[in-house]
Structure 1
Amino acid sequence: DFMIQGGGMEPGMDQKQTRASIRNEANNGLKNVVGSVAMARTSEPHSASAQFFINLKDNDFLDYRASNSQGWGYCVFGKVVKGMDVVEAIARVSTTNKHGHQNVPVDDVLIIKADISGEPAEAPQ
């Protein structure tokens, strides 16, 4: 397992209502390393809307390489600074296949609270 993903479903596997997709900003200089938080998307580079993932290990294959279909990567926008033990516990829950999705937790996993600390980082110039 290389990451955990969430943000797209309500409890009971009901699809979450989302806003419009956002532009992929994976060329911001941030890397998909252990504990980094990134936007999930489809194969379309600019399709991220609500789903995110937390990297369980360094995943350089998810990093930005070029502004083309093969190189866009996945935009890192944050990092876990406290509570990585909780992330690892989520990664260990029992999973199954549900509603056409693989590796879905048998029991719903809810993130009740996440704090944002510090000032937003500026993208490298």
Structure 2
Amino acid sequence: MVSRLALMMALPALVLGTCTAVRAQAPAKATYVKVDTTEGAFVIELDAAKAPKTVDNFLKYVKEDHYTNTIFHRVIDGFMIQGGGFTADMQEKDAPRLVRNEGGNGLKNLTYTVAMARTSAPHSASSQFFVNTANNDFLNRENSQDGFGYAVFGRVVEGKEVVDRIGKAPTQSKPHPKVPGVLMQDVPTTPIVIKSIEVVEKK
């Protein structure tokens, strides 16, 4: 028979183990950012669990005030809205910090999800992001031609009507600021300015 003393000595270890298990199961608190634009504001829920490097990189640009007075410079109805890299006078902002592509994280390019924009180089994403305004399955890793896809790192949870409004903006072509003779397509006729992006608490 186990003595009362042996049970009392074992009890603290059992309690500690139980507490540890409870802490391990506690879900991480989600982070939200509000994107305030000249067309209204929308809120993005960031998924740091599935896209940790991308979320960390994005939040660093947010905290550095990089996005203030940038624009949504590429808007394609029924596809996506892209911003975070150019000012209203079409000057590209310096964004030297790149992030490794996390396109295989299981998050899909569905309507109202948010993903990183990049060049043809898989790991070239820096500050520019886009909001999908349709289910863009061809951007997912498993369907992409380069085998990497476009990394989703969040989703719009408030202000979807603002995203829809931006997505319907009339557009035009404008000269590329750094490449003579090249036109940037799908630039909104009236600049849609990101007044700020800030971390917010969501009830």
Which residue matches 1:25? 102
Question: Which sections of structure 1, spanning at least 5 residues, go unmatched?
Answer: 119-125
Gaps of 5+ in 2: 1-77, 176-182
CA deviation vs aligned residue, 1:76-112 (integer Å, no higher than 9, x gap): 0111000110011111111100012000011110123
Whichever residue aligns with residue 73 of structure 1, its letter is G
The amino acid of 1:23's aligned partner reads R
**d(CA) in 2 for partners of 1:114, 1:44:** 27
Report the 3-state secondary structure (helix = DSSP H, G, I; strand = E; otherwise coil) of the residue aligned with 1:88: helix
TM-score (ref. length: structure 2): 0.54
Identity across the alignment (%): 47
CA distance in 2 between counterparts of 1:3 and 1:40 reads 11
The separation in 2 between residues aligned to 1:84 and 1:13, in whole angstroms, is 26
Q: Name which of structure 1's ranges 107-116 and 9-18 shifts more when overlaid on structure 2.
A: 107-116
* Correspondence for 1:83: 159
Moved runs in structure 1, 4+ residues, more than 3 A? 113-118
User: Is residue 63 of structure 1 aligned with residue 111 of structure 2?
Assistant: no
> Which residue of structure 1 aligns with residue 126 of structure 2?
49
Give 1:19 shift: 2.2
**What CA distance in whole angstroms lies between the structure 2 residues aligned with 1:116 and 1:78?**
13
Higher-Rg structure is: 2
Structure richer in helix, relative to its length = 2
Cα pair 1:26 1:64 within 8 Å, conserved: yes
Give SS of 1:33's match. coil
Whichever structure has more strand as a proportion of its residues is 2
Aligned partner of 1:41: which letter? R
Indicate the SS of the match to 1:89: helix
How far did residue 41 of structure 1 move? 0.4
RMSD: 1.9
Q: TM-score, normalised by structure 1?
A: 0.85
Mapped partners of 1:17, 1:117: distance in 2: 25
Separation in 1, partners of 2:111, 2:145: 25
Quick check: 1:32–1:38 contact (8 Å CA) kept in 2?
yes
Q: Are residue 105 (structure 1) and residue 177 (structure 2) matched?
A: no
Q: Determine the C-alpha separation between the residues in 2 that align with 1:35 and 1:114.
A: 17
